[in-house]
Every structure is written in structure tokens, then in C-alpha cells.
Structure 1
């Protein structure tokens, strides 16, 4: 048996350093976007920069706590113990290590369990997953007692700070989906299991849609899609789901989209139709992006943000502030940091020692990539305004906490991965012999 390295030697410090750079970059932009006129000053604890620093400190602590916990603890399955009641904990890990390796085919005893009883048990375990139940509880709670702002009920007042459950749902659903897909990876080629995973993510999506928060709902749907592909879902089954969704889009338009969401879609198609109303932010954002040129007007010198033509510039439209004040070069630097995060995430996913770790890391990568694309596309007029924050850059406590905890998942997979070649197939078969 080859000795394991110290876990902290496998900590991805490049990912950590890049994340810290993004947070600092975001603080600089938030400071510039929230500058008050001469003679005015923010109260210390009301200053958006102060709040973001506090959230960043809390988030980094949570990230380290998530990272030091072996991610396999998050994926421990009672169903696995029912299948192999005599096996020890290390042998469950051994099974996961070897089945992940492409040169091994599943043991026949695993392939036989493709019946209705197995599916119902898998769904019951998915629905009773503690991470899933916590997620549903918070999403229901915000609809009942949440604060209503601009027609949206998205925040729970915790007195110390407002909590946005839809942001926390990103972290919790990555874990819940990874558990379900990893536990049923050999069955995911059957359409009913793919539909079951969609059902699991569909309930939170509907609750988030009711807030309403269309952007986060779409993000969770895309995360499900990416994780299902990684888990081995058949493309024709995914195409069927897409076709059903496309055919159902008229129902979504007439019965589910609110009036203001429809206006946002019309505004996306023609912002000039309502330049002082729904199209105002889109127009001002495009002006900001176009005014930056190569090097920008200088940090704190943008006319659109400093003169407050651009609204909510420190949250949804912070990329427009960056483009105007730091120009193309500043945006290119930001994208370079984003690319490093994505590359490290892909590296962690590809080197994960089991399917659960691979799915956790893949979900984190898909979420990060799609959320960046959604926010930047919104700022440059290529996508409708959805209110999705730019990861690590936009002001917002719940978003920053959620993204840092997701980074913690990546670090946990990196820290606790094990070599795949230290366990033989014979060891796995021996573990399976414990089954009756």
C-alpha cells in the first residue's frame, strides 16, 4: 500500500489564491461603484464594502470548514449499507474508487438491481436526503415569511444579515444531485432515473420560480443538465427532455411567467421601446461598456456609475462598471482569473477518485461557468436581465457565501482524493462477497 500524502499538500492553493484575487477585485469595484458625492459618507456598518469584507471573511471560514471535511461524508448512503450489510467503511470507499476507473465493468450484483423497487428506494433516499430537505425547508420558508422587495420575495431577515435561500440552494442542490446520480450511476442510462433526477431538482426550481427568481431557476436546471451528462445520461434521453420543455414553453409563458418577467423579455428584444422604464438599465449598461475603450476612464472615474445613471451598479451591473472604468484590459484580466478557476475545477473533477467527487466538482464548474456567462451576457445586451450576480465580484452576502462554500467542495475533492491504482479489483470483489 503506497502511503498517502498529507491532505494539505493536495490543497489547491492556486484555486485559493485566484479566489482571493477575485474577491479583492470585487471589493475595488464595489468601492468605486458605491462612492458617494463629496461631503457624504457611508456609516461604517452600512458601507457595502464593509459588508462585503465581513461576508468574505465568513465565507472563507466556511470554505475551509467544507474543505477539511472529507466529501465522502456528504455522500454516505444508507442504501449502500443495506446492499452490503457486512462490509466495513473502508470497503465502501474501495468500491467507489474502483468502479470509477474506466477499465473495470460493474459487478453483476450491481447490474441486477434495475427494478421498480430499486427505483422507488432511490427516489425515497433522494427526497429524504438531509441537504435536500434543508433546501426545501428554506425555500418554502422564504415564500411564507420572506421579505418582499420590488415584487420579489427572496430574503429571510436573520437580523444580523438577510439570507437568500435561492443562493444557498446552489450549494445544497449540487450535493443532493451528486448523491443521487453517484448512487444510481449504473442505472442513469434508463430514462426513468434521469426523469427522477429531474424531478428532484424540479421541486426547488418551481419554488424558486415562485419567488420569483428566474435566473437562479435556470442556473439549477443547467447544473442538473451538466451533472446528468457527466453521470452518463444518454443524449437521446436528454434530447427528449429538451423537446418536452420546448413544447411546454407556451404553458410557461401564459401561466407561469409574471408580467414583469415578460416585460424583461420584451425589453431584451427592444430596449428602446421603453428607454426610461424597463429598458433604462439595459441602455445605460451598454453605454457604460462602450465608453470604456481599451483602458477605461480610470477606477472611480466612470460617468455612468459615479453620476448614478447606471442603477444597481454594485450588484447586477458591476461588470458594466468594470468595463467603463478599467476598459477591455480590466475585463480581460477578470476573464483570466475566471479561466484559472474553471481550469482548476476541471482538473479537480478529472482527478477525483470516485464518481461522487467527480460529480460534485463538475456541478461546481458548470454552475460557475454558466453564472458568469449569464451575468456578462446580461451586461452586454446578449441575454435578458435576470438579476444573477457575477461570482465573487457583485456585492451580496448570500451569493458570496454560497460561492465560497462551493469552492470548499472543490477543495474537499482535491484534498481528499486518493490514488486509483492502490486498490485491486480482487479487493472489490472480496468486499462484494459480504452481500448475502
Structure 2
């Protein structure tokens, strides 16, 4: 199983920066929830999930990534079953049915589905590498994605469906899609968004409308959250107000400050320097994943590195953009830093796959 493995190629820089990001995230979660007894266990739980994630990285990296992709059909079936079960039986939380509750923990299969998508597409583009880049080839890859995405859309969870579509678009683009198909796809996508708007859930339409037409006097909801996030970012200045001393954070004006708006909390307590550090960390992680893609020995490995890089980059960019009121509120977490066990472990699973690729990027010599 481990033929061709060389642990000396293991990307310790990547792992080290991720561990630092998680530790920094845990510290910020602790500051963000200080004095809030209802979510006092969040820090302990995040640490537990981080430890699980580290074990996952080592275990996944120790197994050849080609074995993982060879299991794409069983993984796909299991993933679809989980998503269908969520749709049928999960109890709604915060207006949507997205979680299983196990031992007091909310498990979100959608986070895992994004990593499974990368594996499936990596396999698809490997086995179809000699096929013409025609419409049939495009629709074939899209069918695999929408087999999972449709159940996520029904939860409803539009944000993560968009993430999955971005991953698909990026991976099919790097696989050599014809420009005319890319342009047609972009046009159809724009028209589809405009056409689908009236059929979105009410909270989804409200997010877009409050972004376009904000209420300066709002005291709750998406507009209020973004206003408080901007105040937090602005009040942090260059160096910040100090760890545990952010007024918007500690006085609880900033809502969901340990999840969706943790970037604003960081900006308030550590200033532009801290915010810049977070961005630099994410950029470094993305670059190391792209490096793995470049060094991979086959298309499967290259696609895994590239797909995970796109996942981390897009989610990070969206979260930061929401905090800065550049785009409507989405609910996507800040990778490796926001609170959330399912998201953290799933991302670390993705990193384990990247490590599996990089430690096997050269043939063993005998």
C-alpha cells in the first residue's frame, strides 16, 4: 500500500502553518466567546476537532491518494446517502436542515462533500484525459457534481453549492475546456442567477437586498451584522485594541464573532497587522497546495492539489469579502480559523490528500 512513499517529502511547512492557523483560531474563539456560558465549550471542542484533524492528515497521507480516488464510487454513494438523510430526517436549525446531531455535536456532511467532489473530479479528469473536450465531456463532469449538489441546494444551502460549482469550474478550466464552452457557461450562469432570484429562500433574497439597499438604522439581521463588522475592522486600526480588549467583540455588538465574523474580531483586536497575517497564512497554504499540484506525478495528484487550493482560496476570499461588505453575507467560515468541527476536519482531510500527493511525487529508486 505504501510503495513509493517517502516521508522526507512530507510538506512540514504546510502542516506547521496550518497548526499555527488553528492555534490562532482557537485563541480568537476563546476571546470571542469570553463570558458566554451558552457556547463556553466551543474552545474545547475546537481543540478536540483539531486533534482529530491532525490524526486524519497523517492517516490519509500514509495511504496512496490513488487508492482514495479508486474508491470514488463507494464514497460518492455514501456521500449521497448522507445528504439525502439530511434532507429527509434532519431537524431544521437556524432555518435550514444541514446537520446531524451526534452526542451533542452538529455534524455537517456538506463540508465533507466538497472534498469528495475534488476526489471524484480528479478521478474523472484522469480517466477522460484522452477524450475530446466537448460538451459531452463537460456535462459528464457536471453530472457527478450535481448528483451531490442538488441535495445540498434542497437543505437549503446555496453558499456551499456555489463553492462546489466554483471548484468544478476551476478544475474543468485547468483540464483544458474550450474557450467557447467557458464563455457559454459563464453566460448561462449569469442568466441562471438572475432567473433563479425570485425562487430563492426568503433569507437568501434578504441577504442580497440588504447588501444592495442597506438600512443604516438596522438593529438586527444581516445589515446590522455587517455594520458591526465594519466598525470592528475600522476600530482596530493598525495594531488593534489588544487581545481580549476589542469593544465590538467583548461587548457582543458583533454577532457570530467566533464563526462567520471572526475576521472582523481579529481585525479589531490585532489591527491591520493581524488581518494581514491571516491573509498571508491563507495565501501560503494555497501556494503550497498549488506547488503540490505542479510537482504531482500524474493528473489525479495535480487535480487534488489544485482542487483543495481552490476550495481554501475561495472560502477564505468569500469570508473576508463578507466581513468587509464587498459581497452579501454567505455563512461560509474562514478556513482553519472559524469555529466549526465538520469544516475543520474536512479541510484537514483535504490537506492529508495534498500531503499524500507530495510525498509520492517522485518514483522511488531501487
Corresponding residue of 1:399: 343
Corresponding residue of 2:12: 13
Residue 327 in 1 paired to residue 326 in 2? Answer: no
For residues 60-115 of structure 1, the C-alpha deviation after alignment (integer angstroms, 9 at most, x for no partner) is 111111111100112338xxxxxxxxxxxxxxxxxxxxxxxxxxxxxxxxxxxxxx
Greater gyration radius: 1
Shift of 1:147: 2.6
Shift of 1:315: 0.5
Structure 2: how far apart are the matches of 1:409 and 1:329? 32
Mark the CA change 1:411 to 1:188 in structure 2 (over 3 Å): closer, same or farther: farther
**Runs (5+) with no aligned partner, structure 2:** none
For residues 205-259 of structure 1, the C-alpha deviation after alignment (integer angstroms, 9 at most, x for no partner) is 221121111211111000001111122222221221222222223431123x111
Corresponding residue of 1:31: 30
Shift of 1:409: 0.8
Structure 1: how far apart are the matches of 2:23 and 2:61? 21
Structure 2: how far apart are the matches of 1:5 and 1:206? 38
Decide whether the 8 Å contact of 1:298 with 1:326 is kept in 2.
yes
For residues 320-339 of structure 1, the C-alpha deviation after alignment (integer angstroms, 9 at most, x for no partner) is 00011100001111122112
TM-score by length of 2: 0.94
Corresponding residue of 2:164: 220
Choose the corresponding residue for 1:285, options 203, 206, 229.
229
For residues 90-148 of structure 1, the C-alpha deviation after alignment (integer angstroms, 9 at most, x for no partner) is xxxxxxxxxxxxxxxxxxxxxxxxxxxxxxxxxxxx8xx12221221111111111131
Q: Considering only aligned residues, what root-mean-square deviation do their CA atoms show, in Å?
A: 1.9
Residue 336 in 1 paired to residue 280 in 2? Answer: yes
**Runs (5+) with no aligned partner, structure 1:** 78-125, 423-436
Shift of 1:48: 0.9
Mark the CA change 1:411 to 1:353 in structure 2 (over 3 Å): closer, same or farther: same
Shift of 1:186: 2.0
Corresponding residue of 2:45: 51
Shift of 1:55: 0.5
Choose the corresponding residue for 2:355, options 411, 415, 435.
411
Residue 296 in 1 paired to residue 240 in 2? Answer: yes
Corresponding residue of 1:189: 133
Corresponding residue of 1:163: 107
Decide whether the 8 Å contact of 1:264 with 1:385 is kept in 2.
yes
Shift of 1:274: 6.1
Decide whether the 8 Å contact of 2:232 with 2:248 is kept in 1.
yes
For residues 232-291 of structure 1, the C-alpha deviation after alignment (integer angstroms, 9 at most, x for no partner) is 222221221222222223431123x11110000011113226612331111111111111
Decide whether the 8 Å contact of 1:182 with 1:231 is kept in 2.
no
TM-score by length of 1: 0.80
Choose the corresponding residue for 1:276, options 213, 216, 219.
219
Structure 1: how far apart are the matches of 2:99 and 2:126? 32
Moved over 4 A (4+): none
Task: Say which SS state the counterpart of residue 198 (structure 2) adopts.
Answer: helix
Mark the CA change 1:360 to 1:295 in structure 2 (over 3 Å): closer, same or farther: same
Deviation larger for 58-67 or 152-161: 152-161
Decide whether the 8 Å contact of 2:17 with 2:281 is kept in 1.
yes
Choose the corresponding residue for 2:66, options 69, 72, 96.
72
Choose the corresponding residue for 1:205, options 149, 154, 163.
149
Shift of 1:6: 5.8
